[in-house]
Structure 1
Amino acid sequence: MPLLKTLVRGLSEMPGYTLMRGAARFQIVRSTVTAGRRMLHASRLRRMLRACEARIDHTVFKKVDRDTFVIDLRDQGAAFGLQLPPDMVAAILRHAEQTPCYADRDPAKGFQLVQREKAEHKLGKPILVAQYFNATQECPAIAQLTHDPLLHWIAGRYLDSPPTLVGVNLWWTFPVDASEEDRNRHAHLFHRDVDDFRFFKFFFYLTDVAPGDGAHVCVLGSHRSPPARSLADRWIIRRYSDQEIQETYPAFSIHEICGPAGTGFAENTLCIHKGRTPSRSPRLLLQIQFALYDYGAMHDRRDADQLSLLPI
């Protein structure tokens, strides 16, 4: 019954996105749609890639072998080696310190970062995740990243089609004793995404992430081999326990991604993945997502009259 209610609500509020999620969980559908779009837009893609190459000296990522990066992303489902400049990290952190964030990604639960304890008292629970809205519009450093020629070149090559920037999200994850409901809601259990027929995301740590302290964890290669512990798992999208994943995949493929502030990587989050709840230090993460089509489901844009602060 809950699944039926979710389906009915999705078809009412976002019919295109909901129908895509039903179809795109099947590999043959993803491949067919991707191939069709590639053929329709081949010349536009070539022009777009040439334009990116003409501007490639303006990228903030100076030491990336872009061809190898795309190959790794295709083969492993993830690619590593991006590093934000220190001044860009500092600029985004300043934005985060000066701008309200919103508990549970709820536009009605805004608070200043220094008021987190008061916000938790008002809500009557610890805050696991707090997101910023309108980050691209309000933070010039993030806006610059969304136009970086290397990121767009990688997106075009990986998607085999002119890329669509479908979402930018900036959020904190705090070291709290979160409920199982909150851990599930905020994807701190293993899962895979179905955001389009082909898509991927760039992730950037804006704070240091040590082993066991809020790292993103992905199962390399699992975009090609989703867990099928039962027949239904071939088409049902659900959460998986750590034990299920450890029993399904070799230990060497379960990769905990750590690094200092500025560390960046890309991932096709059709791969099995999760965010680890921090144990000591809050984690600030920036996500930039590219896909074939924009269903309006991934962006962080909100009108000012939709946002409100908690009365604290």
Structure 2
Amino acid sequence: MQPSRQPRKKADDLETIARRSGRLHRMAARLPTYMADLRERPSWIAMFVLARIMLFRRLHWRRARPYRAADTPNRASLFERVEPQQVVEQVRTQGIHVGLVLPEDICAEILDFTRRETCFGNFDRRLELDATQYAEAEVRFGRALLSGHYFEKVLDCPAAMRVQRDPLLHEVAARYLGDRARVVSTRLWWSFPSQQASDADKNLASQDRYHFDLDDWRMIKFFFYVSGVEPDQGPHVYLRGSHKKRSLRHQFSPLVGHSADEVYADYGKDNALTLLGGPGYGFAEDPFGFHMGTVAQRAPRLMLEVGFGVSPPSRRRFHGEPVIR
């Protein structure tokens, strides 16, 4: 029996080494970003180290001042039949609320914008491409392309800015985070199907691997499928309830990304919610909960994100998040 076990053990060892190598590659790629954050805002290091520990996180939440109606812009909302407090309560208990829908004309305007503007592959500004020709771009660049980000170009998309300024989003954020809530990120990006992507490529793109966001002490994010998403188009997956509990090994690990098996062992596979919907389908989530984007298999996915936090926004992020004007 021993000879049959040895190849399996060797394969397991190689798989472990590959996973560790991918994690180290991801950390090395983000190191310049972390150093820039630290130079720009020295208090960032305290958040980065302590905000993953539940004791310090709860203490910071207790400092939140209650929502005031004056914190909400006095404008008409794109989301007419949504009750802000219901969204807040569901995010508090589950970590996620599903039921936001962008109007068709907003989705159409954003899609039209992406046809006029080029994006940047794999967070790399040297890989500029037309999103409608991503397959040809893979051949031209000689590498897999899993994503195409518009970075600060999204600020020039009037429809996306209408979403960013929507009073419902601001009210939900203020009720959830307290009166210091502010927009800290606005992102628009494609997820492309790629047959060439390695596990390292997927890891760097935060795809097919659970992770949690650690950009601020308290955050809430709103996501919208501009193009609609079916099971084979890279749906977002969220682990309900994981935003308010964290195992010790995940609190004290320097890594934010972990395998699905490891995460399910601590938080339960039954809590995984795969989000599918047509154009405009949206949801609000606390990104401290474990979540992941899956790899698109058949067709690309266009996602719009508006994130709120309580600290001054960084001038740049790993994901190319722009300064909010």
TM range (shorter): 0.7 to 0.9
Secondary structure in structure 2 of the residue aligned to 1:157 = helix
Secondary structure in structure 2 of the residue aligned to 1:14 = helix
What residue is the counterpart of 1:173 in the other structure? 191
What residue is the counterpart of 1:72 in the other structure? 90
Unmatched 5+ stretches in structure 1: 303-312
CA deviations 1:154-205 (Å, max 9, x no partner) are 0000102231100101110011132111111111111111111100110000
What residue is the counterpart of 2:99 in the other structure? 81
- Aligned 8 A contact 1:192 1:269 in 2: yes
Q: 1:170 to 1:240 in 2, by over 3 A?
A: same
- Alpha-carbon separation, structure 2, partners of 1:165 and 1:201: 9
Q: 1:11 to 1:221 in 2, by over 3 A?
A: closer
Q: 1:6 to 1:32 in 2, by over 3 A?
A: farther
Unmatched 5+ stretches in structure 2: 1-20
Over the aligned positions, Cα root-mean-square deviation in angstroms equals: 2.4
How far did 1:79 drift? 0.6
Which residues of 2 match residues 25-36 of structure 1 at below 5 A? Answer: 25-36=52-63
Moved over 4 A (4+): 1-11
- Alpha-carbon separation, structure 2, partners of 1:280 and 1:7: 29
How far did 1:65 drift? 2.0
Which residues of 2 match residues 205-224 of structure 1 at below 5 A? Answer: 205-224=225-244
Letter of the 2:198 partner, please give it.
S
What residue is the counterpart of 1:23 in the other structure? 50
- Alpha-carbon separation, structure 2, partners of 1:8 and 1:72: 35
TM-score normalised by the chain length of structure 2: 0.82
What residue is the counterpart of 1:305 in the other structure? none
Letter of the 1:149 partner, please give it.
P
- Alpha-carbon separation, structure 2, partners of 1:47 and 1:66: 12
How far did 1:121 drift? 1.6
How far did 1:9 drift? 4.6
- Aligned 8 A contact 1:10 1:18 in 2: no
What residue is the counterpart of 2:306 in the other structure? 288
What residue is the counterpart of 1:301 in the other structure? 322
Q: How many residues align?
A: 290
Letter of the 2:104 partner, please give it.
P
Q: 1:25 to 1:175 in 2, by over 3 A?
A: same
- Alpha-carbon separation, structure 2, partners of 1:164 and 1:143: 14
- Alpha-carbon separation, structure 2, partners of 1:248 and 1:26: 16
Q: 1:124 to 1:290 in 2, by over 3 A?
A: same
Percentage identity across paired residues of the two chains: 30
Q: 1:238 to 1:137 in 2, by over 3 A?
A: closer
What residue is the counterpart of 1:204 in the other structure? 224
Which of 173, 179, 204 is the equivalent residue of 1:185? Answer: 204
- Aligned 8 A contact 1:175 1:282 in 2: yes
CA deviations 1:77-133 (Å, max 9, x no partner) are 101110000000000000011100000111221111233233212321121111012
Letter of the 1:214 partner, please give it.
G
- Aligned 8 A contact 2:134 2:192 in 1: no
What residue is the counterpart of 1:308 in the other structure? none
- Aligned 8 A contact 1:135 1:168 in 2: no
Which of 239, 250, 253 is the equivalent residue of 1:233? Answer: 250
Secondary structure in structure 1 of the residue aligned to 2:68 = helix
Q: 1:66 to 1:12 in 2, by over 3 A?
A: closer
How far did 1:37 drift? 4.6
- Aligned 8 A contact 1:205 1:263 in 2: yes
Which of 126, 129, 139 is the equivalent residue of 1:111? Answer: 129
- Alpha-carbon separation, structure 2, partners of 1:213 and 1:111: 20
How far did 1:5 drift? 6.7
What residue is the counterpart of 1:252 in the other structure? 270
Which of 54, 70, 79 is the equivalent residue of 1:48? Answer: 70
- Alpha-carbon separation, structure 2, partners of 1:71 and 1:97: 38
CA deviations 1:236-274 (Å, max 9, x no partner) are 133222222333333331100000010000111111110
- Alpha-carbon separation, structure 1, partners of 2:235 and 2:169: 22
- Alpha-carbon separation, structure 2, partners of 1:115 and 1:292: 38
Does structure 1 residue 274 correspond to structure 2 residue 292?
yes
Greater CA drift, 27-36 or 257-266: 27-36
Q: 1:255 to 1:212 in 2, by over 3 A?
A: farther
- Alpha-carbon separation, structure 1, partners of 2:307 and 2:122: 20
Does structure 1 residue 121 correspond to structure 2 residue 139?
yes
What residue is the counterpart of 1:306 in the other structure? none
